[in-house]
Structure 1
Amino acid sequence: MQIDVRRDWRISARSDLPVNRSGHMFDDGQYQPIVRSEVCSLSAARRVAAMLDLPTESITEGDALPKGWHFLLMGADTRRSGLRADGFPGLGVPMPDLGFTRLLLGGRSAEYHMDIPVGAKVFRTSGITSLTQKSNASGPMAVVTIGHEIRVDGAPDAAVTETQTYILLPGESRFNESVQPLQAVTAARTQVVVPDETLLFQYSALGFNSHKIHVDRSYAREVEGFPDLVVNGGLTTLLLTEFARRELELDLRSFSMKNVAPLFCGRQITLAADHHDKRWSLKAFDNTGKLAAEMEANVNEF
């Protein structure tokens, strides 16, 4: 069942506009976009650098926020009483209560229109753009798509537009931990990373994301049926955008990201990149060489 919501949800993110900050559905079955203001602070940007083990003093007020770091501006100050049972806060927009106990990030896409200066005030407009309930071989599920626009104060147009797709599922994870034969990862460029508990905690803290599958090992194992803490889908995206920025020296213009399998704390991840005409294909493989995430990226030519 497809539920139509506000199609033209993008509104000018002025601070004087009346907005519905509750995220509740209106009587006409549409969701009002939520507008909130943030500061892209120097301290927060330097904490991202510290998390990535980069020199913090290299970032100063007025610098362009590196592409991919705008996740700092996507969180929300959800009260503990407003959290889902799994701890997910609803980043920017409360997730509709459809009775599904599990939530996963299916993918995201982003477009960079202009730089966000470190220290600038920004306005973020967020809204549910589609909600679909359906069934497949595994049972009922729902797909919720949320659109975001980030605009720098004083600028007429958005600096970043992003769409996130969340998958809502019932019951326990059906993840199969059976032993898989190792598969070789072949690509023009590769890099190996191993996300540990500290990295998962710091990323979750910086985005104010309290989803328990990323920070509570007993919950991830005993309630959701995973073998260990799950690497944040957004963190996987950040690892790929950082791979593109620092190792490949690419200036991203846009990307489309799809998460196809979970990645786990303490296990090797292989980042891989191939160049096809004017587009880059970036992928993340798990410790067995199985594809876990794939990104198609367009870049600005120097």
Structure 2
Amino acid sequence: MATVRRVAAMLDLDPDDFREGAPLPRGWHFILLGADTRRSALRVDGFPGLGVPMPDLGLPRLMLGARTVAFHSDIPIGASLKRTSSVRSLRQKETTSGSMAIVTIGHELNLDGHANPAVSETQTYLLLPASKLSPGKVDRLPPVSAERITTAVADETLLFQYSALGFNSHKIHIDRAHARDVEGFPDLVVNGGLATLLLTEFLRKDLLVVPSAIRVRHLAPLYCGRTVTLAADRDGSAWHLKAFDDLNTHAVDMEVDI
């Protein structure tokens, strides 16, 4: 219950609006996926894994590529749960940039006494070689056009709070020197999970949509302190959401089933 109140506070919502026994807002289950990885077991980039030992393979850089979430039933706030996590697949490949690996991790959240999961999620990570990015100059693209649009800014405080709530110590989110000098990003990188949360909150608060499933692809980084444009279009009985960076580059794609 205390953690749910902190998520509300992070999102600038009144914590008293979220009471024990009420349904956990869909998308807030990220707080149930944090791992208790010992500091000595962290990857060199600080990523703790998610309750599953993440293979090293000599590939020190890690990026979230995609996630799929199915909401089978509501999770009451304060309920007892069992989480099961495992590596579902591991595939290595050679590219023009060198070796890489694609790791898929599966999670299931079961309410006590229930055989079937309330939430199931798969996350796909890219393990990459040590190479400093050298992003070239990118021109601003035409303005975003969509049925519904809003904006958000993920500043340092939001990145810190989200990372703390998920016990995520990946250095690209919290260590500006590492993000810039080691991995070559221009600034701290917005957590992929935080970008997803901004989109599911757009669904919940602005569109009044309760999703039954979401499918998310991360196409380009979003950076700390820069305006993110969130766009939504109805697609028959479903919704299609996108997040764009401050230059209107399409960064996150989300398909939503109702």
Report the TM range for the smaller structure's normalisation: over 0.9
Higher alpha-carbon deviation: 148-157 or 179-188: 179-188
In structure 2, the CA distance between the partners of 1:77 and 1:294, relative to structure 1 (3 Å rule), is same
Counterpart of 2:106 (choices 142, 147, 150) is 147
- How do 1:212-231 and structure 2 match up within 5 A? 212-231=171-190
Partner of 1:77: 36
Partner of 2:139: 180
| 2:161 is the alignment partner of 1:202 | yes
Deviation for aligned residue 1:154: 1.5
Structure 2, gaps ≥5 residues long: none
- How do 1:14-53 and structure 2 match up within 5 A? 42-53=1-12
Partner of 1:87: 46
Partner of 2:66: 107
Partner of 1:20: none
- C-alpha deviations, 1:70-107, integer Å up to 9, x for none? 00000111110000011000112110121101000001
User: Alignment partner of 1:221: what SS?
Assistant: helix
Q: How far apart, in 2, do the equivalents of 1:173 and 1:49 lie? A: 36
In structure 2, the CA distance between the partners of 1:187 and 1:175, relative to structure 1 (3 Å rule), is farther
Q: How far apart, in 1, do the equivalents of 2:134 and 2:16 lie? A: 42
Counterpart of 1:168 (choices 127, 134, 144) is 127
| 2:102 is the alignment partner of 1:134 | no
CA RMSD across the alignment: 0.9
Q: Which amino acid aligns with 2:168?
A: N
Q: Which amino acid aligns with 2:159?
A: L
Q: Which amino acid aligns with 1:128?
A: V
Deviation for aligned residue 1:177: 4.3
Q: How far apart, in 2, do the equivalents of 1:124 and 1:170 lie? A: 31
Partner of 1:266: 225
Identity of matched residues, %: 59
User: Alignment partner of 2:16: what SS?
Assistant: helix
Q: How far apart, in 1, do the equivalents of 2:222 and 2:100 lie? A: 21
Tell me how many residue pairs correspond in the alignment: 258
Taking structure 1 as the reference length, the TM-score comes to 0.84
Q: Which amino acid aligns with 2:104?
A: T
User: Alignment partner of 2:116: what SS?
Assistant: coil
Q: Please say if residues 177 and 227 of structure 1, whose CA atoms lie closer than 8 Å, have aligned partners that are also in contact.
A: no
In structure 2, the CA distance between the partners of 1:99 and 1:55, relative to structure 1 (3 Å rule), is same
Higher alpha-carbon deviation: 152-161 or 254-263: 152-161
- C-alpha deviations, 1:111-153, integer Å up to 9, x for none? 0011111111100111111100001222211000001100011
Q: How far apart, in 2, do the equivalents of 1:199 and 1:229 lie? A: 12
Taking structure 2 as the reference length, the TM-score comes to 0.98
Q: How far apart, in 1, do the equivalents of 2:219 and 2:134 lie? A: 12
Q: Please say if residues 183 and 290 of structure 1, whose CA atoms lie closer than 8 Å, have aligned partners that are also in contact.
A: no
